[in-house]
C-alpha cells in the first residue's frame, strides 16, 4: 500500500515553526516510503480563515522545499461530502438527529456547576454533600443526548444537529507510533456533533472523512491533537473504515521549557527567512527538534529522507534553541554554493551599506566570498563582515586603529606603501611574500607593520588576513586608503 501522509493546517495565521516541523515530518515520512505527501487546507472556520494565511502557508512550505505531491485539497469545498457521510451514519444508526438546543446544553452545564458549588458549601452534612455531587456528575459528564436512542422529535420543524452515538461501556485505544498505546474509557467522550444545526460539518467529521477520502495512511501531527483522536476513532469505526496509523509529535517548547509562544521570538517560519536563515538550515534544525538519528546533528533533506522513521521521534517536548539554529545555519552558509549565496546576500549587503553597491564592489565581494563565508551565522551577520569593502571607516577610526596610525607606525606605512605599489602581481600570495620580505629587509616584526596597514585598510573593522584583503580591495583602492591616512597625518586639520 502506498504511504500517504498529509499536512492539514488551518489557515488562520502564519505557518508557525511547529506547523513547519509537522509538514517536514510528513514530507520525510512519505519520501522515506516512496509515498505521497499531501496538503489539505482546513478552512472550514470561515470567520477565521483567510486567503492571506493560505498564501503564507504555501509560501513557507515552498521556501522550505516541502512541496506537496498533489494540488492542495480545500476542506471547505468538501462540505457536501461531509454531510453525505453524516447522513449515512444516521441511516446506519451510528448517528442520530439531536434536537437539544445550545441553550438547553448551556442551562444543563450551569445547573451542574451550581450544584457542584453547592456541594462545597459549609454547613451541610456529608450525606447531603455526596448527594449533591452525585446529582451534579451526570450534568457535567460528557453529554449523552436524550435522542441517541431514537426519541421523538419535538413538534414543529425544529433544527437539529447530527451527533455520533458515543460507544458505551468500552474503551477507546490509540496505538500511537510515538506515544505508544493509550486508552480512555468511552464514557469520557460525548455524543459528538458531526453536523451542526446550520448543516456545516465539524472539524471532527471533516478531518476523518478527508483523511479517508485522500487515502491517508499515516496521520502525523502535533500531540495537541491526541485527545481529538479518541473522538475520531469512533467515527472511522462507525463508517466501517480502517484506521490510519497515528503519530502524535510532542510540542516544541521555548528555551525556558514553557509552551512556545510569541515571547520566545519569531515563530512564523518565513520570519526566519527575513532574519537571514537558509531554508535547508531551518529544515535541519526543525528535524532535530524532536527527532534523532544516532548522534548526527546535521542532515540535508535527502539524507533525512533516507533514514527518517517515526520510532525515532522523541517522546519528550523539544526546546527551541536559537544558538543551535545559528550553528546549523552557519554550517549551511559554509556549504552553500557561492553563486547562490551571493544572490541571497545581495539584499543584505544593500541593507548594510544603506545603498546599492557598485558592480566593482560586488565583484570583489564575490571573489572574497569563499574565504569570508564562515564569518557569519546569519546572512545579515555575513553581510556585515564585508563592511570594510565599501567603507574604510576612515572618519570613524576606533581607538586601536587611531593608535596604530600614529608615530613611527606611519613612517613604516609610508615605506611599505612604496614597496607594495610596485608589486608585479596583485595577488594574496605575492602580497604576503612582499609583506614578509619588507619585514625582514627592514628588520621589523610583523606586529610592527600589520597594525598600521590593517588600520588604514579597514579602519579597525574586523577583516581576515591582510594579503587577501589587499587583493580583494585591489591595488588602487589599497593604495588610496593608505594615502588617505598618510595625507591626513601630514595635514591633521583636514
Indicate the SS3 state at residue 114. Answer: helix
Q: What backbone torsions phi and psi does residue 249 show, to the nearest 5 degrees?
A: -95, 130
Give every CB contact of residue 388 below 8 A, 6+ residues apart in sequence.
457, 458, 459, 461, 462, 463, 469
Closer to ligand GLU at the Cβ: 8 or 372? 8
Cβ burial of 275 (10 Å; 0-12, 13-18, 19+) is: middle
* Cell matching residue 404: 596604530
Q: How far is the CB of 75 from ligand GLU (least distance, A)?
A: 8
Print the binding letters for residues 157-196 with ligand GLU: x by CB under 6 A, - otherwise.
----------------------------------------
In degrees rounded to 5, what are phi and psi of residue 163? Answer: -115, 150
Among 23, 98, 136, 207, contact with ligand GLU (rule: CB under 6 A):
207
| Given 46, 165, 259, 262, the catalytic residue | 262
Q: How many residues bind ligand GLU (CB under 6 A)?
A: 7
- Binding of ligand GLU by 239 (CB under 6 A): no
Pick from 15, 114, 31, 117: nearest CA to 64: 15
Q: State how beta strands 252-253 and 318-319 pair.
A: parallel
Lookup result for grid cell 586601536: 400
* b (16+ CB within 10 A) / e for 307-318: ebebeebeeebb
The yes or no reply on residue 221 touching ligand GLU (CB under 6 A) is yes
Closest distance between ligand GLU and the C-beta of residue 73, in Å?
12
Three-state SS at 393? coil
CA distances (Å), 183 to each of 180, 226, 227, 229, 250, in order? 10, 11, 10, 11, 18
Residues 330/377, Cβ–Cβ less than 8 Å: yes
417 binds ligand GLU (CB under 6 A): no
Question: How far is 330 from 163, CA to CA, in rounded Å?
Answer: 54
- Provide the minimum distance between the beta carbon of 220 and ligand GLU in the complex, in angstroms, as a whole number: 8
Among 144, 225, 319, 475, binds ligand GLU (CB under 6 A): 225
Nearer CB in complex with ligand GLU: 47/91: 47
Asked whether position 42 contacts ligand GLU by CB under 6 A, the answer is yes
CB of 272 to ligand GLU, least distance (A): 20
Please report where in the chains the cell 590593517 appears, as a residue. Answer: 454
Minimum CB distance to ligand GLU smaller for 42 or for 177: 42
Task: Give the integer Cα–Cα distance in Å for 100 and 109.
Answer: 13
User: At its nearest, how many Å lie between ligand GLU and the CB of residue 10?
Assistant: 4
Can residue 43 be called a binding residue for ligand GLU (CB under 6 A)?
Answer: no
Is residue 8 within the footprint of ligand GLU (CB under 6 A)?
Answer: yes
Q: Is residue 9 within the footprint of ligand GLU (CB under 6 A)? A: yes
Query: Does the annotation count 400 as an active-site position?
Result: no
Residue closer to ligand GLU, measured from CB, 226 or 382: 226
452 binds ligand GLU (CB under 6 A): no
3-state secondary structure of 283: helix
The distance of closest approach from Cβ of residue 109 to ligand GLU in the complex, given in angstroms and rounded to an integer, is 26
Q: Binding segment for ligand GLU among 6-14, 110-118, 237-245, 482-490 (CB under 6 A)?
A: 6-14
CB of 111 to ligand GLU, least distance (A): 33
Q: Does 10 bind ligand GLU (CB under 6 A)?
A: yes
Angle at CA of residue 290, ends 287 and 291, nearest 5°: 60
233 binds ligand GLU, rule: CB under 6 A: no
**Backbone φ and ψ of 218, nearest 5°:** -135, 120
Instruction: Say whether residue 471 binds ligand GLU (CB under 6 A).
Output: no
218 or 288: whose CB is closer to ligand GLU?
218
Which residues are known to be catalytic?
A: 262
Positions that interact with ligand GLU (CB under 6 A): 8-10, 42, 207, 221, 225
Amino acid at each position: 500500500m502506498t504511504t500517504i501522509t498529509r499536512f492539514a493546517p488551518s489557515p488562520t495565521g502564519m505557518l508557525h515553526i511547529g506547523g513547519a516541523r509537522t509538514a517536514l515530518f510528513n514530507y520525510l515520512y512519505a519520501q522515506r516510503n516512496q509515498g505521497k505527501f499531501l496538503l489539505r487546507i482546513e478552512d472550514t472556520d470561515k470567520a477565521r480563515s483567510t486567503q492571506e494565511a493560505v498564501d503564507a502557508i504555501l509560501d513557507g512550505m515552498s521556501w522550505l522545499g516541502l512541496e506537496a505531491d498533489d494540488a492542495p485539497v480545500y476542506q471547505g469545498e468538501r462540505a457536501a461530502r461531509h454531510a453525505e457521510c453524516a447522513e449515512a451514519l444516521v441511516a446506519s444508526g451510528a448517528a442520530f438527529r439531536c434536537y437539544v438546543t445550545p441553550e438547553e446544553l448551556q442551562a444543563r452545564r450551569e445547573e451542574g456547576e451550581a450544584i457542584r458549588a453547592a456541594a462545597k458549601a459549609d454547613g451541610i452534612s456529608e450525606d447531603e454533600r455526596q448527594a449533591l455531587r452525585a446529582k451534579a456528575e451526570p450534568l457535567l459528564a460528557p453529554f449523552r443526548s436524550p435522542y441517541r436512542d431514537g426519541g421523538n422529535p419535538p413538534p414543529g420543524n425544529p433544527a437539529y444537529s447530527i451527533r455520533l452515538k458515543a460507544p458505551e461501556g468500552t474503551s477507546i485505544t490509540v496505538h500511537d507510533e510515538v506515544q505508544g498505546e493509550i486508552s480512555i474509557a468511552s464514557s469520557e467522550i460525548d455524543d459528538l456533533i458531526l453536523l451542526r444545526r446550520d448543516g456545516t460539518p465539524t472539524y471532527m467529521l471533516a478531518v476523518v472523512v478527508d483523511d479517508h477520502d485522500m487515502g491517508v495512511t499515516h496521520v502525523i501531527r502535533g500531540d495537541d491533537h491526541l485527545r481529538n483522536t479518541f473522538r475520531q476513532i469512533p467515527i472511522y469505526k462507525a463508517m466501517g473504515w480502517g484506521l490510519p496509523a497515528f503519530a502524535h509529535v510532542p510540542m516544541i517548547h521555548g528555551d525556558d521549557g514553557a509552551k512556545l509562544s510569541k515571547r520566545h521570538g519569531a515563530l512564523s517560519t518565513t520570519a526566519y527567512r527575513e532574519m537571514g536563515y537558509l531554508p535547508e538550515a531551518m529544515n535541519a534544525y526543525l528535524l532535530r527538534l524532536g527527532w534523532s538519528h544516532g548522534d548526527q546533528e546535521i542532515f540535508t533533506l535527502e539524507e533525512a529522507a533516507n533514514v527518517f522513521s517515526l520510532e525515532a521521534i522523541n517522546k519528550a517536548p523539544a526546546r527551541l534553541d536559537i544558538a543551535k539554529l545559528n550553528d546549523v545555519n552557519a554550517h549551511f552558509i559554509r556549504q552553500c554554493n557561492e553563486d547562490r549565496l551571493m544572490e541571497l546576500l545581495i539584499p543584505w549587503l544593500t541593507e548594510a551599506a544603506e545603498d546599492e553597491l557598485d558592480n566593482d564592489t560586488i565583484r570583489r565581494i564575490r571573489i572574497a566570498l569563499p574565504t569570508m563565508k564562515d564569518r557569519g551565522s546569519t546572512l545579515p551577520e555575513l553581510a556585515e563582515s564585508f563592511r570594510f569593502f565599501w567603507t574604510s571607516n576612515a572618519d570613524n577610526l576606533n581607538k586601536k586603529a587611531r593608535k596604530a596610525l600614529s608615530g613611527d607606525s606611519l613612517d613604516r606605512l609610508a615605506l611599505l606603501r612604496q614597496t607594495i605599489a610596485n608589486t608585479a602581481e596583485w595577488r594574496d600570495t605575492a602580497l604576503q611574500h612582499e609583506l614578509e620580505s619588507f619585514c625582514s629587509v627592514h628588520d621589523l616584526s610583523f606586529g610592527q607593520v600589520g597594525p598600521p596597514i590593517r588600520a588604514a585598510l579597514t579602519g579597525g573593522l574586523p577583516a581576515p588576513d591582510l594579503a587577501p584583503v589587499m587583493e580583494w580591495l585591489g591595488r588602487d583602492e589599497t593604495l588610496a586608503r593608505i594615502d588617505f591616512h598618510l595625507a591626513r597625518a601630514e595635514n591633521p586639520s583636514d
